[in-house]
Amino acid sequence: MPKILQRKRLVPNVHLIEIEAPEIARKCKPGQFVIIMPDEFGERIPLTIGDWDEDKGSVTVVFIVVGTSTHKLSLLEEGDEVPVFVGPLGKVSKIEKFGTVVCSGGCFGISAIYPIARAMKKAGNKVITLLDVKANYLLYWEEKLRAVSDEFFVSARDDFFNCKDYVPDVLKNIVKKEKIDRVVSIGCTYLMYTSSQATRSKGIKTIVSLNPIMVDGTGMCGACRVTVDGKTKFACVDGPDFDGHLVDWEELFARRKSYFDEEIHSLSDWEKKTFP
C-alpha cells in the first residue's frame, strides 16, 4: 500500500501529507487531484495535488480537518500506509502564455494554486499571486509562491500584511490598475464565487476549481454533478476547472450542504469512541 513519507501540520487545522507514489508522480499535471482513504473504514477524499517530485516518486497534498476522515488523516505518521491513493484525476489546467495572470488562493487553495502559478510563470506569463488568510499565522508556502510570482499580495484580517480587504476587493483594485488576461481562483466555494463576481463586469476569464461532494472520481457515481452554462457536468471528469462566470453557484452552495448534519454526527461519534 502507498506509504506516508511525511505528515505535518503547516498551520492550525491545515496539514500536509507526502505519499510515496512514483507512478502517480510521473503523470501529475497542474490542476489535477488524487483520492485518498485514511483507513479501510474512511470515505474517499478528493484532494488537489499541491506538489510532486518525480525523482523522489512522491506526491504532496494539503488538507484541512473538517470531518471524521480528514481528522483520521491528520493523525497518520511517517511510515503509515493508506489503503487507497489513486490519481492523478481530473483534467489538466490550461497553461499557456496569456499575458498577466492572477492566481488567487485561500486555505487549502494556497497549496493547490502553487503548481498552476509555477506553470504559468514557466509559460512566460506575468504572475500575480493573491492569497487570503484570516491571520498572518495561517499563511504557509509563502517562499514557494513568492519564487514563482512577479507580484505577491496577502490579505489578512489582522493587519499584519497591511491589507484587511477580502480577496475580491483586492482583485477589483488590481483589475483597475492593470490589464489582467486571466484569473485562476482556488479555495472555499465562497472565495471562488466572489472572485468570479469581481471579474464578471470586466469580462476577464476566471477559472475556478470546483470541489463538490465526490465519491468514485471517475464519472460513474454522479455525486459531483454541477451545472455550468446550463448543462450538467461532473467535476471529476469534466473539471475540476470551470469558467466561474458560467457556474450555477446557488445550486453548488446548496449541494455542498447536503450531508452537513451527518458529517457533524459522524465526527462526534468517532471522537467519543476514539477519545473516551
Query: What are 43-73's pLDDT values in tens digits?
Result: 889 999 999 999 999 999 999 988 888 989 9
Q: Backbone dihedral region of 221: left (phi > 0), alpha (psi from -120 to 50 degrees) or beta?
A: alpha
Q: Is the pLDDT of residue 214 over 90?
A: no
CATH of domain 100-256: 3.40.50.80
CATH 2.40.30.10, applies to 4-89: yes
Per-residue pLDDT tens over the stretch 245-258: 999 999 998 877 66
Judge contact between 49 and 60, C-beta under 8 A: yes
252: which 3 cell numbers? Answer: 453548488
Confidence (pTM): 0.91
pLDDT given for residue 258 in this prediction? 62
What pLDDT is attached to residue 178?
87
The mean-pLDDT minimum among 3-7, 123-127, 211-215 falls in 211-215
Q: What is the pLDDT of residue 62?
A: 96
Greatest Cα pair distance in the chain: 57
Which residues in the chain are classed under CATH 3.40.50.80? Answer: 100-256
Pairing verdict, β 126-133 and 100-106: parallel
Q: Are 76 and 19 in contact (CB under 8 A)?
A: no
pLDDT at 109: 92
- % of the chain surpassing 70 pLDDT: 90
Q: Report, as an integer, the average pLDDT of 204-221.
A: 87
pLDDT at 222 (0 to 100): 83
pLDDT digits (tens, 9 = 90+) for 186-200: 998 999 999 999 899
Q: Are 82 and 1 in contact (CB under 8 A)?
A: yes
CA angle 212, 223, 36 (to 5 degrees): 70
Tens of pLDDT, residues 137-193: 889 999 999 999 999 988 877 776 666 666 777 788 888 888 999 999 999 899 999
Are 136 and 156 within 8 A, CB to CB? yes
Average pLDDT, the chain: 89
Contacts of 36 (CB under 8 A, 6+ apart): 17, 19, 44, 45, 47, 61, 73, 82, 84, 85
> What residues have CB less than 8 Å from 273, skipping those under 6 apart?
none
| Positions of CATH 2.40.30.10 in the chain | 4-89
pLDDT, residue 207, reads 97
Assess whether pLDDT exceeds 80 at residue 260. Answer: no
Q: What is the pLDDT of residues 88-115, one digit of tens each?
A: 999 999 999 999 999 999 888 999 999 9
Average of pLDDT values for 233-248?
95
